[in-house]
Structure 1
């Protein structure tokens, strides 16, 4: 199966949470945001789950660096999306992947230039293959949320994980990989290839790759 080079990027609390129990997720310092947007400028597409669109309403455009905005990809099995979300109003191109054929929502999205792809028994791997084969996406960044990141890791459909450890502790909330979890011996082990203290001197940025 052909797929893009896949980088998972996230910023988490010391206890590994993307967001607190009230969905508060403002974890990045300005340098981490710049680092995030530099990576956005280097990939062909950025992928998020439907819950991230509903909770955060991101634009996924470049803000802190100059360059070409990546294609935006939304995964929503339920197709429960708000037509007025930023990602559906402003450029660049957005592609939505779903299992549900909601004709009314689909027609509204298509009328705005959004591409809607309906895939039975949708998986991250199937999406990545479709992006590679039909949209020439060769490098992609997964930004969240926790369920989407978990699915990519569970399916072994990723190449790197880049994570910034922020200085907060939430104690509860949404995990980096928010799923049913692995049994201990079956859990993947990654190779640490880079670690550096952030320019703010209060965060650490780590880069892991899968062992060859």
Structure 2
């Protein structure tokens, strides 16, 4: 199962809206004869790849897979049928599939065909690997990661707004890698106006993650790097009050727009879930970041802390108002061990 989990992780960032899945086939003597993983949506599932590699050697053997085999017709045929046809004697799974179209149905189909099924092997590791997929299935929204870089005094920009670059090259390369594991990168209109960001993984992922701008009024610059669709696609989500001429300007450029009845982080993530996004990255300013937290749209935080003292009473900080009036209201997030990125420190937190 550990090998199957390693295989599944190879496709991180590429399988949405599907989960990450890896599979290993052992013959009747316990020798590894096939392995595979689900590379991207629309391509063969991990079980099929591994069984094809094993061929007739799978008959009478064991299939080890990180997720319950599907039992419905999607872009590919049901994996449970392929497993039964291959003649394996035993299937070992890490966890059941929470998708309502599966959710135990694959296991039931296998057992009905006389296949022994052993479940919950390395389940905790499998659930961690597919935390984003599981979150979308449970909540109807992608898992949200909020990222910022700041000095040791908590400032994310100088008093005059200058913010490039707070962190060093190694930290910026880590951010590019983080983007490559996400389906969308989200900013607000203020970030577009102030920073003119590119928001790509710098080629670490193809296609690049969707770049998303959430802007209630569409008060956006006429020229911005996000409007160049050759590098990566951009979606602009806006409210009902956005002036028609601003909508038309985006339409003329061929930039996709999405009208939200409620221009909120929650409504945006629900729309992105409909597009099949499992995981998104918030790289926005303090007000939108605070709104995303208040809306329950952030499950993880990645704070890059640079050895800089920036100062300035009016200087920007990572978050706007969260509405707390006492420290007893402030939740304690679950912290991972800090990690060095060159001279900078990365501190990762998970929601309690």
Same structural fold, with TM-score higher than 0.5 when normalized by the shorter chain? yes
Q: Which residue is equivalent to 1:119?
A: 260
Q: Which residue is equivalent to 1:23?
A: 161
Q: Which residue is equivalent to 1:174?
A: 316
Structure 1 runs of 4+ with >3 Å offset:
none
Q: Could you tell me how far apart the structure 2 residues matched to 1:59 and 1:193 are?
A: 29
TM-score with structure 2 length normalisation?
A: 0.56
TM-score with structure 1 length normalisation?
A: 0.91
Q: Could you tell me how far apart the structure 2 residues matched to 1:158 and 1:79 are?
A: 24
CA RMSD of aligned residues (A): 1.6
- What CA deviation, in whole Å up to 9, does each residue of 1:38-93 have, x standing for no partner? 01111111001110000000111222x52221100001122100131110123321
Q: Could you tell me how far apart the structure 2 residues matched to 1:58 and 1:33 are?
A: 13
Q: Could you tell me how far apart the structure 2 residues matched to 1:77 and 1:179 are?
A: 19
Gaps of 5+ in 2: 1-138
SS in 2 for 1:60: coil
**1:43 maps to 2:182:** yes
SS in 2 for 1:194: coil
* Equivalent of residue 235 in structure 2, options 95, 106, 111: 95
Q: Which structure has the higher relative contact order (CA within 8 Å, separation 6+)?
A: 1
SS in 1 for 2:146: strand
Q: Could you tell me how far apart the structure 1 residues matched to 2:323 and 2:177 are?
A: 31
Gaps of 5+ in 1: none
SS in 1 for 2:159: coil
**1:194 maps to 2:333:** no
Q: Could you tell me how far apart the structure 2 residues matched to 1:139 and 1:111 are?
A: 30
Q: Which residue is equivalent to 2:249?
A: 108
Q: Could you tell me how far apart the structure 1 residues matched to 2:323 and 2:345 are?
A: 25
Number of positions where the alignment pairs a residue of Structure 1 with one of Structure 2: 207
Shift in Å at residue 180 of structure 1? 5.4
Shift in Å at residue 179 of structure 1? 2.6
**1:54 maps to 2:54:** no
Q: Greater strand share, 1 or 2?
A: 1
**1:6 maps to 2:147:** no
Q: Radius of gyration: which is bigger?
A: 2
Shift in Å at residue 163 of structure 1? 0.7
Q: Could you tell me how far apart the structure 1 residues matched to 2:322 and 2:140 are?
A: 27
Q: Which residue is equivalent to 1:205?
A: 346
Cα 1:57–1:50 change in 2 (3 A) is: same
